[in-house]
Structure formats: structure tokens, C-alpha cells
């Protein structure tokens, strides 16, 4: 469980770096964050059962 949160933090850092360098636009950044957070929510929901 702790590993997934470390992975999420690393992915968020990578997304922020890509956004700062101009690789991702603001809309793409927002979509990437929403998809990542919804995937984490699904993972937590699945592991509860």
C-alpha cells in the first residue's frame, strides 16, 4: 500500500516537471492529475474488499 503512494508522488512530480517545461499544456496537466487521482481512488476502493 505504501508503494503505491510513493509511485503516485513520483508520477505527480514528473507531471509537474513536464508542465513546467512546456511539454504539457494546462488542460493536459489537469486531465493527467484527474486520471491519476481517480486511478488511486479506484485502487484504494478495490483493495478494501
Domain extents for the chain? 2-47
Q: How far is CA 22 from the centre of its chain?
A: 18
pLDDT of res. 2? 79
Instruction: Give residue-wise pLDDT tens across range 6-26.
Output: 888 889 999 999 889 988 888
Give 37-45 contacts, CB < 8 A, sequence gap 24+. Answer: 40/4, 40/8, 43/4
Q: Calculate the average pLDDT of the chain.
A: 87
pLDDT of res. 35? 92
Res 48 pLDDT > 80: no
The pTM for the full model equals 0.72
Res 1 pLDDT > 80: no
Nine-digit cell string for 41 = 481512488
Amino acid at each position: 500500500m505504501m508503494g503505491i503512494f510513493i509511485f503516485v508522488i513520483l508520477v505527480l512530480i514528473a507531471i509537474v516537471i513536464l508542465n513546467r517545461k512546456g511539454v504539457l499544456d494546462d488542460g493536459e496537466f489537469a486531465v493527467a492529475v484527474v486520471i491519476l487521482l481517480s486511478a488511486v481512488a479506484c485502487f484504494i476502493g478495490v483493495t478494501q474488499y
